[in-house]
Structure 1
Amino acid sequence: MGSEGFVSCDDAANAGAAPPWPVNTWYVACTPAEIEGKPLGRQICGERMVFFRGAEGKVAALEDFCPHRGAPLSLGFIENGALVCGYHGLAMGCNGRTVGMPGQRVGGFPPIRTYPVIERYGFIWVWPGDPALADPAKLRHLEWAESDEWAYGGGLYHVACDYRLMIDNLMDLTHETYVHAGSIGQKEIDEAPVKTRIEGDEIVTSRFMDGIIAPPFWQMALRGAGLPDTGPVDRWQICRFSLPSSVLIEVGVALAGHGGYHADDSKKASSTVVDFMTPETATSHWYFWGMARRFAVADTALTDTIREGQGKIFGEDMEILQLQQRNLDRYPDRKLLLLNIDAGGVRSRMMIERAIAEERAEPVPA
């Protein structure tokens, strides 16, 4: 793929081009806490949706549009398992059909659009495309989310940039030396060779750094794992992109000389950085981030400390990516240069483009 793939997609969208994301797939929509006792309005892949829990705790997703007067249903409230519009009191069921309105007959109203949803792995997932194609089996298995051997903590940022810029950022961690110098960055990242490969349905980039001193964040993690934090360690970063827009990064440090990535759990602090990017518009997305770890899993204070530190790190990413997006919008015809460190991001974009092309392909005549 040429460097034109890195140009802002706003102009392409305004010119009538197809949106830069696949739709027949599962995206993280929200967390259960976000719909606790109330509806949530969220734009996903250009579609304004409302999420809520209906009768018996069932999660539903409807278009955020009251069929009465067009008000956003997300401004309403939940009553007796129905979503009640906050404008005139029209009540909607999980199936998109009206179930009542004070003093009015509304049973004949046509249903509004619904979206397939799944609640799994601590998230609520939505399928914004053809509901007939929605298959729960297509949701990637997340071992860390349902095993007692892992602890997880995370958060959510709304980021004003193309979701693919975040994927570029996560598939090339060279920027850590410069953007995150006070936490996870170190000069050895620049010096370590980057390898990019295709592994099944994933794009994988990897770096290994042996015999180095751990940066501040990983010194903290070593202490949390009950290990010394001042001696040499072997460090690794293995970034895995998979459709539609997730990057899971195996990261960690092991006491030097004990096998590095393959060291016994008693000799290392290892984690998976969790990154789910859900497109909102052509130049904004919802970024669900977190870290799943395999050490000191019962230590909730450590989970909070890691979450706080990780949140600051991703906040630094967010600041630079939003400014990057503004520059790309300002100079939409500028061609960007590509280096070998960009291979993971380029291949990830190619995979996204293929998925979009396959969705929009004309059906083959029988």
Structure 2
Amino acid sequence: MFPKNAWYVACTPDEIDAKPLGRTICNEKIVFYRGQEGGVAALEDFCPHRGAPLSLGRVCEGQLVCGYHGLVMGCDGKTVAMPGQRVQGFPKIRAFPVVERYGFVWVWPGDPAQADPARIHHLDWAENPDWAYGGGLYHIRCDYRLMVDNLMDLTHETYVHASSIGQKEIDESPVTTRTVGDRVVTSRFMHNVMPPPFWRANLRGNHLADDVPVDRWQVCHFIPPSHVMIEVGVAHAGKGGYEADPKDKVSSVVVDFLTPETDSTMWYFWGMARNFNPRDTNLTAQIKEGQGKVFSEDTAVLEEQQRNLDRFPDRKLLMLNIDAGGVQARRIIERLVAQEQPQKLAA
């Protein structure tokens, strides 16, 4: 279950710099490539001649050439040429709205008439030289909504990530949840705690003491259709916590773009944007490596969770107070999906 009239992160620019990329987004098989003048194009991954995936072909002078019989496609889905054939009567294949922005390639798998680029989620940090970003991509065999649940309730960190970002105080600190329009925010603040290993390393990365108590925060923002941005950080205790002066803290935004592939698989574009020592490339690489290990732990749990849910599809799951963020996010998703369904005619 996923809205189709929405912008999803499809890939990163480097994935299509050398050759076409075939990727399934919201059950739509799409080929991405760079057309003439370097712009990104997205077409149905289906050659109108014999149905071969166009992603198995190549790009020649900004045109997509099928790797089976040499049919040449234009960025609008019309066949341009084919060796020894007239192509005027060839059927047009589907072209998807696509935009390259903020260091990502975004695709709209739904009604192209509604694809307004202004609706792409704005990323302040991506346009600010005082911020640095490092991230990666995982393919995960689970319903993307399980990852929404996971990110909107960070209680699991105590158990799944005990060696990196977890600590018992996460369990002991209350969580607040609020919904504002189509967005959900969950917040947790921990005071006068010792920083776990991941945050000790980040304190050192900002030339701060890592062996003193800190105030820690986690503020998770769900933004439709399936993006979760998490404000995280620690400040030396008593310096103002979340509102502390930058010289007394390390703070970041955990970036999570959850792109459904199918009903039970997803693409997970993860990363961290930070506003301390942004030009330290070694620090960026260090944080990326540490974060990648954390998210691989999530992946292992979520894939097993999906397998268990598939085995017992009729089992009713418990809903606890800590699940409020995920529950509210799912309600928004359900409403958006329902709005896309054809209205039943009155009897």
TM score, norm. by length of structure 2:
0.98
Are the counterparts in 1 of residues 158 and 170 from structure 2 also a CA contact under 8 Å? yes
Deviation by residue 1:21-73 (Cα, 9 ceiling, x = unmatched): 00011000000010012000000100100000010001110000000000000
Q: Find the counterpart in structure 2 of residue 10 from structure 1.
A: none
1:330 aligned to which of 290, 304, 311: 311
Match of 1:263 in 2: 244
Equivalent residue for 1:293? 274
1:31 matched to which residue of 2? 12
CA-CA distance at 1:137 after TM superposition? 1.0
Structure 1 CA distance for aligned equivalents of residues 286 and 88 of structure 2 = 52
Alpha-carbon displacement from aligned partner over 1:319-339 (angstroms, at most 9, x marks no partner): 000000000000000001111
What is the CA–CA distance in structure 2 between the aligned matches of 1:267 and 1:222, rounded to whole Å?
Answer: 9
1:207 partnered with 2:188: yes
CA drift of 1:108 comes to 2.6
User: In 2, Cα distance between the equivalents of 1:58 and 1:102?
Assistant: 26
Q: Tell me the distance in 2 between the aligned counterparts of 1:267 and 1:202.
A: 30
Residue 127 of structure 1: aligned partner? 108
SS of equivalent residue, structure 1 residue 227: coil
> Is residue 272 of structure 2 the alignment partner of residue 272 of structure 1?
no
What letter corresponds to residue 236 of structure 2 in structure 1?
L
Q: Distance in 2 between matches of 1:30 and 1:208?
A: 34
Q: Distance in 2 between matches of 1:202 and 1:362?
A: 25
CA distance in structure 2 between the partners assigned to 1:122 and 1:58 by the alignment: 14
Distance 1:264 1:188 in 2: 24
Pairing 1:1-366 to 2, within 5 Å after superposition: 20-362=1-343
Residue 363 of structure 1, CA deviation: 8.6
Query: What is the CA distance between 1:206 and its match in structure 2?
Result: 0.6
- CA offsets 1:272-296 (integer angstroms, 9 cap, x no match): 0000000011100000000000111
Aligned counterparts of 1:37 and 1:189: Cα–Cα separation in 2: 44
Name the amino acid aligned to 1:359. Answer: E
Is the 8 Å Cα contact of residues 44 and 93 (structure 2) preserved in structure 1?
A: yes
TM-score with structure 1 length normalisation?
0.93
Structure 1 residue 361, shift from structure 2 partner: 4.7
SS at match of 2:51: coil
> Equivalents in 2 of 1:51, 1:107: separation in Å?
24
| Cα distance between partner residues in 2 of 1:145 and 1:103 | 47
Residue-by-residue CA offset, 1:73-131 (whole Å, 9 max, x unaligned) = 00000001100000011010111111112222223312100100010010000000000
The secondary structure found in structure 2 opposite 1:234 is strand
**Partner amino acid for 1:247?**
V
Structure 2: 5+ residue stretches without partners = none
Distance 2:30 2:223 in 1: 24
Distance between the aligned counterparts of 1:48 and 1:304, measured in 2?
A: 33
**Contact kept in structure 1, 2:195 and 2:213, CA below 8 Å:** yes
Q: How far apart in 2 are the matches of 1:363 and 1:262?
A: 51
Q: Distance in 2 between matches of 1:150 and 1:284?
A: 31
Q: Aligned equivalents of 1:177 and 1:24: distance in 2?
A: 36
Separation in 2, partners of 1:185, 1:193:
16
Q: Give the distance between the partners of 1:74 and 1:298, measured in 2 at CA.
A: 36
Return the offset for 1:201.
3.0
Cα RMSD over matched residues?
1.1
Distance 1:281 1:21 in 2: 9
> Secondary structure of the residue that 2:67 maps to in structure 1?
coil
Q: How many residue pairs are counted as aligned between the two chains?
A: 346
CA 1:330–1:312: 2 relative to 1, 3 Å: same
Partners of 2:299 and 2:261 lie apart in 1 by 15
Shift of 1:198: 1.3
Query: How far apart, in 1, do the equivalents of 2:342 and 2:231 lie?
Result: 35
